[in-house]
Chains A and B, each alone.
Chain A
Amino acid sequence: DVKVTQSSRYLVKRTGEKVFLECVQDMDHENMFWYRQDPGLGLRLIYFSYDVKMKEKGDIPEGYSVSREKKERFSLILESASTNQTSMYLCASSLSVAGGMFFGSGTQLSVL
């Protein structure tokens, strides 16, 4: 089974802190994604990557950056956390267009 692991299930940070959310997949997938999930808004794409060191902006990239130095790892960075970035963050990976995405179990981030 594909496994997508997010390093933290819950995080509490202060406004202005630099925050790193880590995601690792173990199935050699080319594509990795970061989504943000908010009640009533569904899942919105922040960034995705289709190869090492490659990244593409999603629908809501403002305030975020990403890093993909190795194929299996995709990091989401909040340069200066703000309260409006309090949310559930979901990482996912996929191999091909036809296949489904495989998700991690999410990180609930609270910015105080």
Chain B
Amino acid sequence: AQTVTQSQPEMSVQEAETVTLSCTYDTSESDYYLFWYKQPPSRQMILVIRQEAYKQQNATENRFSVNFQKAAKSFSLKISDSQLGDAAMYFCAYRSSQGGSEKLVFGKGTKLTVNP
């Protein structure tokens, strides 16, 4: 079974600085999808960024980018120019590409605090 590990239960960053959240995963599959979700205090889970394993190019969405290292099974999230609204729980998630396996497997989350 696939597992996702987020080794940093909590992180903090100064406003306007850059922070990187770590995620590693374990799988025997060669094709899969990786996601980062954000959960602010409102509890609404929001998709931040998605990466297809067959793509070597790292995904980018505005201030959010990933460092995808397939051989190392690592999928870190970089937040540039951090803003107060970035404060939230961040969850890394894995999804198999095989049909019938549409579920997401989540890490335990990293709580990000943004200091003014």
Contact = CB atoms under 8 A, between A and B. Distances in A.
Interface string B3-27: 0001001000000000000000000
Given A40-B108, A41-B108, A97-B97, A103 B91 contact: no
Interface stretch (B41-49, B62-70, B71-79, B80-88): B41-49
B2 to A, nearest CB: 11
Given A90-B45, A103-B44, A42 B35 contact: no
Interface of B: 6, 9, 33, 35, 42-45, 47, 50, 52, 91, 95-109
14 contacts: A41-B108, A42-B6, A42-B91, A42-B106, A42-B109, A43-B91, A48-B103, A50-B102, A88-B43, A90-B45, A97-B96, A98-B33, A101-B104, A102-B47
